Amino acid sequence: MMSSYSEDMNDEYQKLLRRTRPPRVVIDNEACKNATVIRVDSANKHGILLEVVQVFADLNLIITKAYISSDGEWFMDVFNVTDQDGNKITDDELVDYIKKSLGPDSCFYYTMRGSIGVKAAASHSSIELIGCDRPGLLSEVSAVLTNLKCNVVNAEVWTHNGRAAAVVNVTDGESGLAISDDERLRSIKELLRHVLRGSDRWGKAKTVVTQGATHAARRLHQMMFADRDYERADSEDGKQRPDVNVVNWYDKDYSVVTIRCKDRPKLLFDTVFTLTDMDYVVFHANIDAEGPEAYQEYYIRHVDGSPVKSEAERQRVVQCLEAAIERRVSEGLKFELCTTDRIGLLSDVTRIFRENSLTITRAEVTTRAGKAVNTFYVRGASGSSVDPKTIDNIRQQIGQTVLKVKGSPDDLKPASESPTRFLFGGLFKSRSFCNFGSVRSYS
């Protein structure tokens, strides 16, 4: 009871601060030559930095520099931001959206903890899965959902350290609405759990039914953290790891976290989320990601006010940040698919990948105005690069493609139109697959 009372009092205090000292957002396109400068001033609270960074991440904006200061009761933040093409933010609607999302009228939701499972939302049901990764897993999961007459409208899949986690949003294939029938949800849960446990020697596969809204990236981080994917054997592959260090600055009673790694989209969100979810408060930070390498420096304390207390805690912070950085790294070929959405589309596409011995390392599936826009990162089944003959075979089955091999000096050139272009479309013509779009890849 005392804990609940304390939380309620803190919530009321935060509301009072927000009313008396509302957030102020300034968007300036003149102060910097190559980026839009966004300044955010607000009453301070635990997690506010994550809330701001999440707005930029959800809009797919790139943060090239940032300075954060949140000592005391006031939060002051400056971000240099561009769009994905490196341009300033000039679209009036986007500028207004950012101001409304971060300004006085914003209504952040901040639920750090949640349950793993199937969650009924207004427009869809959200299925959360975690288990041992293996070739063809996404194909098997999507086939089960197709057989259960579920349409996948959005999905995000991550793999790391031999584990796979997914957040899959589905609707009923007939009504197009969320699945609310408890018996049907239980059936979905049990069948998917059976698929996940097929090769999970540790028995950690999970599909639990709960209710509530979810944010895919947050949940994927939480699920993989709870699954302890950050634990790694010393003998694992020798690929380059992020450079993460944690030292204590005893004069100021801070722990200083420094990160150097290859830059990528949403890197700042992933590291800030991890620190926040582990109950650390970021008091100051400097971010520099103007080149191919990102540098991040955080001055942190635990929510109890203490810096990192032991070597074991230091090692855990390092491991968890390394895992957070690596989970969303894009390895292998990038296939982008855009076509009319239909039930079974994801199942058919992933089956083609599986039959050609491709392993999906990460996937993003979205539906926009009846169109499926899917991105897959794939490698050979043994983890090797994909053979050009395999790509040709996929081209013959799916249609015209434009592909590049990520990290290879010998990029594959787009193939000319295949005489069997409509083989795959004709095979599924009765299911409206003849308008299948191209599969594209970008490095």
Mean pLDDT comparison of 233-242, 326-335, 385-394, highest-scoring range? 326-335
Q: How many domains does the chain have?
A: 3
Domain match, 199 and 269 both: no
Least confident of 193-197, 224-228, 282-286: 193-197
CA dist., res. 210 & res. 117, Å (int)? 5
- pLDDT of 295 > 50? The answer is yes
138-180 tens-digit pLDDT: 999 999 999 999 999 999 999 999 999 999 999 999 898 888 8
CATH of the domain at 146: 3.30.70.260
- pLDDT of 435 > 50? The answer is no
Domain match, 302 and 335 both: no
Domain that holds residue 248: 243-328
Domain boundary among 65, 91, 112: 112
Q: Are strands 254-262 and 439-440 parallel, antiparallel or unpaired?
A: unpaired
The reply to whether 13 falls in a domain is no
Least confident of 2-6, 384-388, 412-416: 412-416
Regarding pTM above 0.85, the answer is no
The reply to whether 223 falls in a domain is yes
CA dist., res. 171 & res. 146, Å (int)? 11
Mean pLDDT of 295-315: 96
Domain match, 48 and 105 both: yes
The reply to whether 120 falls in a domain is no
Domain match, 203 and 55 both: no
- pLDDT of 20 > 70? The answer is no
- pLDDT of 419 > 90? The answer is no
The reply to whether 428 falls in a domain is no
pLDDT band at 199 (very low <50, low <70, confident <90, very high): low
The reply to whether 7 falls in a domain is no
Domain match, 217 and 263 both: no
Q: Which helix (DSSP H) or strand (DSSP E) does residue 11 occupy?
A: helix 2-20
Domain boundary among 112, 135, 150: 112
Please report how many Cα atoms fall inside a 13 Å half-sphere around the Cα of residue 431, on the Cβ side.
12
Domain match, 357 and 214 both: yes
Counting residues of the chain whose pLDDT is more than 90, the rounded percentage is 53
pLDDT for 99: 94
Domain match, 345 and 298 both: no
How many Å is the Cα radius of gyration of the chain? 23
pLDDT for 66: 97
> Taking every pair of C-alpha atoms in the chain, what is the biggest distance, in angstroms?
73
The reply to whether 106 falls in a domain is yes
pLDDT band at 191 (very low <50, low <70, confident <90, very high): very high
Helices (H), 158-266: 182-196, 216-226
The pair of structure tokens assigned to 382 is 């043994």
